[in-house]
Structure 1
Amino acid sequence: MAPSKTFFSNFRLSNIVNLLLRSLQLVDGLVVIGLYGIDLNRARKEDKYSDGKWVYAVTVGSIAAATAVVYAFVSVFMHYRSLTFLFAWDWVLMVLWAALSGIFGTMYLNEKVEMEAGIHRMKVAVGFDLAGLVLWFVTAVMGSLWFFRERWGGRISRPGKA
């Protein structure tokens, strides 16, 4: 059997969906790193204090981007369903994104932009924080469903079936 045929025979719709979601998570994480990194870089250049909230945002974005890359490779080279226990880390990241969204959402969502680019950029960053929260929630739920379906298999009775 040709190597390419073996590679593509292991590719399923779940792999493609997972790869798409992981790609979106990667982009989201990189955008968050960039948006919050601007302020951290400015503070560094001016020898000012780097606020821990911005450090947290860049850290969450970095962890999420690295995780998305690793999970994307897993979905390409292996059946993601066979490694469904990874869903637990998705839940951890979802909680980190929820905290990040809460921190910056309370700070900037009610602010008036009034021609200030920094406030506008932070409102955009909050939008990406919320997108990250949703993306990691979706993959956590999918991973949880796959995990429990694989673990309990046919032992779960479905409505209408004995």
Structure 2
Amino acid sequence: MFLAGKLIKVGISQAKKRKAKNQPQFQQPDPNYNYPQPGYPMGEYPPGVAPGTDTKYVLTPPATKAGKLTAMFMSVVRFLQFVFGLTVVALYGDDVHHAHEDDRQANAKWVFAVIVGGLATLTALWHMILPFVKRRVHSGSNQHTFNTKVLLPEFIWEVIICVIWLTLFGIFGSMYIGVYGSDSSSSSSSKRDSSSSSSSSSSNSSDSGLGDNAKINRMRHAVWVDLVNLVMWVITSTWVLLRWIKSRRAALAAVAADPADPGFDAEKI
């Protein structure tokens, strides 16, 4: 019995040694050895981000229902600005075109009207394309700073557009508001039984350089189109100003919250 117990103990110890020998051996790391660090290819880093940079991802808040409706309304206004600008170019450009056909020098007032309509049309077209351009700009922590830089020159330019529309309305309004051709004033003249005064007023208007009856009627309508354009550009310039104020406040608040953020520059806001 004693010999059997010895043999069993020897067998168990040999089995433990064999099992320990088959297991993988782990060595303690040498603190003096410079182990290679896993690399990350520089081409995989986002633009402007270096290794070790503390990247921050700012989620753009979803647009509210009121914001979406306002954006849709302003898009419609921009489209109307484009259409009415082309209308002004067509109304005044007709006289400029006829002057060139007759080898006459076009009136400077009509040329100014065509220039104003052309500038307004191009500006409205740019504003319709601008949202697609802004989508290509990465939204991040410097989004409000980008808006302040863009919206301020935009507001200044729209104020200039409003001033030239007001000038155009003043020039042609003083010329054609209250002036009627014989076709439009025939009904009123028949009621007052003063056909002779109607013919004399139309002849006087022709002598004063306002043009024939068809031109007078067309210019009277053009004046009110100028007024509609002025109102629309006042609306959009006010909207741009409010957006600039909102973006500037948000940018300043972000600078106050994190002055070390390189995406903001308080001196340029």
Residue number in structure 2 paired with 1:110: 178
Q: Partner letter of residue 51 of structure 1?
A: N
> Is contact 1:30–1:62 with CA below 8 Å preserved after alignment?
yes
In structure 2, what is the equivalent of residue 84 of structure 1? Answer: 151
Which residue of the partner structure matches residue 34 of structure 1?
Answer: 90
Residues 2-26 of structure 1, C-alpha deviations (whole Å, 9 max, x = no match): xxxxxxx889444322221110100
User: Does the alignment pair 1:119 with 2:175?
Assistant: no
Which residue in 2 is equivalent to 1:16?
72
> In terms of mean alpha carbon deviation, does 16-25 or 87-96 score higher?
16-25
Matches of 2:131 and 2:234, distance apart in 1: 18
Please name the residue that 1:147 is paired with.
Answer: 244
CA RMSD between the two structures: 2.4
- Shift of residue 132 of structure 1? 0.8
Provide the rounded CA distance (Å) in 2 between the counterparts of 1:153 and 1:13.
22
Aligned partners of 1:19 and 1:75 also within 8 Å: no
Q: Which residue is equivalent to 1:159?
A: none
Cα distance in 2 between the residues matched to 1:64 and 1:74: 15
**Displacement over 6 Å in runs of 4+:** none
What corresponds to 1:46 in structure 2?
102
Any conservation in 2 of the 1:18–1:72 contact (CA below 8 Å)?
no
Match of 1:135, as an amino acid?
Answer: M
Please list the CA deviations of residues 35-84 of structure 1 after superposition, one character each: whole Å capped at 9, or x if unmatched: 001100111111112111000000000000001000111134437x9342
Superposed CA offset, 1:66-119 (max 9, x none): 01000111134437x934221211111000100000000000012122222111
Paired-residue identity, %: 34
1:136 aligns with 2:192: no
How many Å separate the matches in 2 of 1:107 and 1:28?
21
Out of 70, 75, 96, the position equivalent to 2:164 is 96
Question: Are residues 49 and 154 of structure 1, via their aligned partners in 2, closer, same or farther at CA, if it must alter by over 3 Å?
Answer: closer
Distance in 2 of aligned mates of 1:75 and 1:42: 39
Where 1:112 maps in the other structure, the secondary structure is coil
Per mean C-alpha deviation after superposition, the further-off stretch among 134-143 and 108-117 is 108-117
Check the 8 A contact 1:15/1:76 in 2, yes or no. no
User: Matches of 1:104 and 1:29 in 2, distance apart?
Assistant: 16
Task: State the AA in 2 paired with 1:35.
Answer: L
Higher relative contact order (CA 8 A, sep 6+): 1
The structure where helix makes up a greater share of residues is 1
Size of the alignment, in residue pairs? 147
Aligned to 1:55: 111
- Structure 2 stretches lacking a partner, 5+ long: 1-61, 136-143, 184-212, 253-269
The AA in structure 2 aligned to 1:100 is L
Superposed displacement of residue 153, structure 1:
3.9
TM-score for the superposition, normalised by structure 2: 0.51
- Letter in structure 2 aligned against 1:127: W
Cα distance in structure 2, aligned partners of 1:118 and 1:97? 21
1:67 equivalent in structure 2? 123
